[in-house]
Amino acid sequence: MTATSPISLTTYLTGSDRRGLWQRRSRQVAADPGSAAWVTGIIWDQQHLLAVGTVGYHGPPDTSGMVEIGYAVDPAHRRRGYARAALEPLPARAAQTPQVHTVRVTIGPGNTASYRLASQYGFVKVGEQWDDEDGLEIIYEIPADRL
């Protein structure tokens, strides 16, 4: 536990890779308190009382009705179903929100595990983009009414 978290966080979750995410989301929520319900949170293993990753949307629906899902599991806890369990409610919530028309996820070209997971929900490739933090990303989307 720290002054900013009521639960113990792994080195991965507090390290430089995730620190930028927490800072970005903190600024986002400060500027728009209504976005707090949409942004990144902790993937929590209730059985083991363990924080194992991050999951959430990048923010509330944009003006075109698109929300982007983001998730990351601590490498020490990967391949145990955490990403699937954390991702499961996100498309359903988006589909139940009238303002959401499209759900997006971006995945690095070498991340086959994440691609396989997203494809099981019907996400299809619609393009590519360059992200200053993550480099090349493949953009996958699905219409919310198909979830």
> What pLDDT is attached to residue 4?
55
83 CB contacts (<8 Å, ≥6 apart)?
43, 53, 55, 71, 73, 113, 114, 117
> What pLDDT is attached to residue 14?
83
| Three-state secondary-structure class, residue 128 | strand
75 CB contacts (<8 Å, ≥6 apart)?
12
Low-confidence ranges of the chain (pLDDT < 70): 1-6
Its pTM stands at 0.84
Beta bridge partners of residue 135, listed in sequence order? 131
Q: What percent of the chain has pLDDT over 90?
A: 50
Rounded Cα gap, residues 32 and 34, in angstroms: 5
CA-to-CA separations, 3 to 8, 37, 76, in angstroms, rounded = 11, 21, 24
> What pLDDT is attached to residue 1?
45
> What pLDDT is attached to residue 18?
81
